[in-house]
Structure 1
Amino acid sequence: MARPLVADIDLDALRHNYHLARSLAPRSRAVAVIKADAYGHGAVACARALEAQPAQARPPAFAVACLEEAEVLREGGVHTPIVLLEGIFEAKELAQVEALGLWMAVHSDWQVEALLAHRPARPIPVWLKVDSGMHRLGFSPEEAVGVWQRLAAAPDCASDLQLMSHFATADAVEAGYFRRQLARMQALGERLGAPLCLANSPATLAWPDAHGAWVRPGVMLYGSDPLEVPSEASRRLQPVMTLRSQIIAVRELEEGEPVGYAGRWRAPRRSRIGVVACGYGDGYDRHAVDGTPVLVAGRRTAIAGKVSMDMLTVDLTEIPEATIGSEVVLWGRAANGEVLGVDEVARHCDTISYTLLTGILPRVPRRYSR
């Protein structure tokens, strides 16, 4: 019998979340961001599920971070255009960009020079990255004017030019900095007559003014709410990954007895403790505090004691029906329909859903359902 821990991936929920993004930005094209192995969900399986929809519902493009991620998709039979969000890392990668029919961001002078010197057989679609205030990658708005003009003057090298930027605070309630970034990009787009790709997941959910020619939903595709305060739209997201295991042992403890390493949790009364087949060796966050929520047999309870490499322990005192073999949901949807959001779990681990989802390790099998 196999170890019971599995990451169930609901591809219908993935499609639902993508359609939600499209419905929120009906005048925009929605590139589906599937970098980091589709945020831990399996990039090839997710891309093929989205690609297999009727033509009018398919993503016009996928987005990944680097060439290696694009190669995996092409080898997996994915034919949709793919945008390299960080562009190339060496000039020699341009040959593979061309061979695989990829689109690419350019954010540095050396990338522009490499592209113009490459002279591809077919022009490469280019997304010009502008630093509107995130201060990671991109040209300043003033620099971007000259770069755009150079690329536009080289139609044999670059085609289908888009302006792209990234918001630092689109998830926040305080919108001042977000609005300044948006205003810079809208002014630049108007000056150049350029199509804009600005809206990440939070901006797609909450800021229609930012939608532009393209939106690029990322973490929202996987059912995580990126907003500081949930909105009506974000409450419609469905969890895609359910991290599911079982109780593998039960212990009866007297009041005051400790559980786990360092005895961090002590029974406040006579207690039942369940041992779960899941630990930080699987990618579950070892910083989860006592009280981190868990579903056992579809009912809410909590972690009791430090997370170990292969196991964690939960309080079963108020769930008398729980026994060896009972379902445990670390996040996602239980068999009875009860949902435990990955964002809630992340808050108890002092982290964000992105780290939990992308942190699930290869020894946890992914099981796909439609």
Structure 2
Amino acid sequence: MKAATAIINRSALIHNYNTLKKLSPNSQLMAVVKANGYGHGALEIAKTLHFADYCGVARVDEALALRESGITSPILLLEGFVSEYCLPLLIEHQLETVIHCQEQLDMLLAFKSEQLIKVWLKLDTGMHRLGIRMEEAENAFMQLSCSAIVEKPINLMTHFACSDELDNPLTQNQINQFDTFSQTKAIGLSSLAASGGILFWPESRRDLNRAGIILYGVSPLTNKPAIDFDLKPVMQLESSLIAVRRHLKGESVGYNATWTGDRDTTIGVVAIGYGDGYSRSLKNGTPVLVNGREVPLIGRVSMDMITVDLGPNATDKVGDTVILWGKALPIERIALQNGLSPYELMTQLTSRLKLEYIDE
């Protein structure tokens, strides 16, 4: 009987990387492995994609874990650094960093070193989360250009706010702002496109594209699964039936009795819950695959288990495999039905969940 397990298909991962690379063959492609590789295991993803042009992480600790495990690919800190004490680590471990605020810029310019640091100045073209505001970008660019510690030329990047909204004019406006700023300057590499940009905004594919959720075979559009873009789901989340029970009409199941049967039926208890990262907010009726057929989630998701309605004529038995999402049941569908994001569903998977790697 299998406990809750995420089956990670390395062949699908490599297929996705190569497929995305073909969309812009003259560009470099970053494998974004932050948040434990979107729940897939950052180290194993980085090892599998050892040929990737770049790895992208959010924080210094994530980068150090990769370096300490032998990953030699260029690594970019997408949030930059939070303390001047991080700066020696950037040099020691050959890490590249985003600069997105004046505080980071001041720390960098005050740092003394004979070795150069490769930086990416992040422009706030419309996301308004991180990045140097456009009216302040000229001064920031000048300060970096005059610094003796910064590798030249300066690299530029930005991040889209609405790239998954194909009729939203903001993305094109962000591209225009980026180009207006950069066209009069001698810059190094430029990076605009993350997952949505790579798929839907070809004019944003520049020197370095950043593949996040699409690398793992999940679409940023929940109503259009990744298989429509020739991308393969890398993860299959599965577990086993640990009990099969007769259930009578009028009986409820689970905490707070959120579901009551309207017929005699058979329920299955599955060994997975929010302790494994299967979201407690998933609703009654969320599809689950048991022996190749869809059955509905019923009752509240518990810490260690869920219940499903197997139907009155069920022949399922204890030990049978249950699939929560994967190739046959896209995670985009689970997210759409519950008003959630696939990002959230994958990255909240916990350390109790077993990760099993296959090549097929």
Give per-residue Cα distances to partners, 1:61-100, cap 9 Å, x unaligned.
Answer: 1110111000110111101110001111001110011100
Q: Could you tell me the TM-score, scaled by structure 1's length? A: 0.92
Q: What is the alpha-carbon distance in structure 2 between the residues aligned to residue 69 and residue 255 of structure 1? A: 51
1:22 aligns with 2:15: no
Deviation of the 1:226 alpha carbon: 0.2
1:353 aligns with 2:346: no
For 2:335, give the aligned amino acid: A
Runs of 5+ in structure 1 lacking a partner?
Answer: 52-57, 334-338
Give per-residue Cα distances to partners, 1:238-269, cap 9 Å, x unaligned.
Answer: 11111110111111122222111222212222
Q: What is the alpha-carbon distance in structure 2 between the residues aligned to residue 62 and residue 315 of structure 1? A: 43
Alignment-derived partner of residue 39 in structure 2? 40
Alignment-derived partner of residue 255 in structure 1? 249
Q: Contact 2:219 / 2:226 at 8 angstroms: preserved in 1?
A: no
Per the alignment, do residues 246 and 229 of structure 1 end up closer, same or farther by CA in structure 2, a change over 3 Å counting? closer
Q: Contact 1:9 / 1:241 at 8 angstroms: preserved in 2?
A: yes
Q: What is the alpha-carbon distance in structure 2 between the residues aligned to residue 299 and residue 232 of structure 1? A: 22
Q: CA RMSD in A?
A: 1.8
Deviation of the 1:133 alpha carbon: 0.5
Q: Contact 1:145 / 1:192 at 8 angstroms: preserved in 2?
A: no
Q: Could you tell me the TM-score, scaled by structure 2's length? A: 0.95
Deviation of the 1:117 alpha carbon: 2.3
Q: What is the alpha-carbon distance in structure 2 between the residues aligned to residue 331 and residue 287 of structure 1? A: 16
1:199 aligns with 2:193: yes
Alignment-derived partner of residue 281 in structure 1? 275
Alignment of 1:36-185 (within 5 A): 36-51=35-50, 58-154=51-147, 156-185=149-178
Alignment-derived partner of residue 213 in structure 1? 207
Q: What is the alpha-carbon distance in structure 2 between the residues aligned to residue 324 and residue 232 of structure 1? A: 33
Give per-residue Cα distances to partners, 1:159-187, cap 9 Å, x unaligned.
Answer: 35211111000001322111111111121
Deviation of the 1:46 alpha carbon: 0.4
Alignment-derived partner of residue 368 in structure 1? 357
Alignment-derived partner of residue 316 in structure 1? 310
Partner SS state of residue 188, structure 1: helix
Q: What is the alpha-carbon distance in structure 2 between the residues aligned to residue 266 and residue 228 of structure 1? A: 30
Deviation of the 1:295 alpha carbon: 0.7
For 2:67, give the aligned amino acid: R
For 2:99, give the aligned amino acid: V
Q: Which runs of 4+ in 1 moved over 3 A?
A: 231-235
Deviation of the 1:193 alpha carbon: 3.9
Per the alignment, do residues 78 and 4 of structure 1 end up closer, same or farther by CA in structure 2, a change over 3 Å counting? same
Alignment-derived partner of residue 326 in structure 2? 332
- Within the candidate set 273, 280, 295, 1:301 is matched to 295
Q: What is the alpha-carbon distance in structure 2 between the residues aligned to residue 358 and residue 345 of structure 1? A: 15
Q: What is the alpha-carbon distance in structure 1 between the residues aligned to residue 291 and residue 185 of structure 2? A: 58
Partner SS state of residue 166, structure 1: coil
Partner SS state of residue 326, structure 2: strand
Deviation of the 1:353 alpha carbon: 0.9
Partner SS state of residue 52, structure 2: coil
Deviation of the 1:149 alpha carbon: 2.4
Q: What is the alpha-carbon distance in structure 2 between the residues aligned to residue 248 and residue 113 of structure 1? A: 57
Deviation of the 1:309 alpha carbon: 1.0
Q: Contact 2:7 / 2:235 at 8 angstroms: preserved in 1?
A: yes
For 2:5, give the aligned amino acid: V
Deviation of the 1:234 alpha carbon: 4.7
The aligned length equals 358
Per the alignment, do residues 116 and 61 of structure 1 end up closer, same or farther by CA in structure 2, a change over 3 Å counting? same
Q: Contact 2:226 / 2:232 at 8 angstroms: preserved in 1?
A: no
For 2:219, give the aligned amino acid: D
Alignment of 1:261-272 (within 5 A): 261-272=255-266
Partner SS state of residue 239, structure 1: coil
Q: What is the alpha-carbon distance in structure 1 between the residues aligned to residue 223 and residue 140 of structure 2? A: 38
Runs of 5+ in structure 2 lacking a partner?
Answer: none
Q: Contact 1:298 / 1:327 at 8 angstroms: preserved in 2?
A: no
Give per-residue Cα distances to partners, 1:311-350, cap 9 Å, x unaligned.
Answer: 10011117733211111011114xxxxx111121122333
Per the alignment, do residues 282 and 193 of structure 1 end up closer, same or farther by CA in structure 2, a change over 3 Å counting? same
Q: Contact 2:265 / 2:313 at 8 angstroms: preserved in 1?
A: no
Q: What is the alpha-carbon distance in structure 1 between the residues aligned to residue 221 and residue 205 of structure 2? A: 16
Deviation of the 1:156 alpha carbon: 4.1
Q: What is the alpha-carbon distance in structure 1 between the residues aligned to residue 89 and residue 226 of structure 2? A: 43
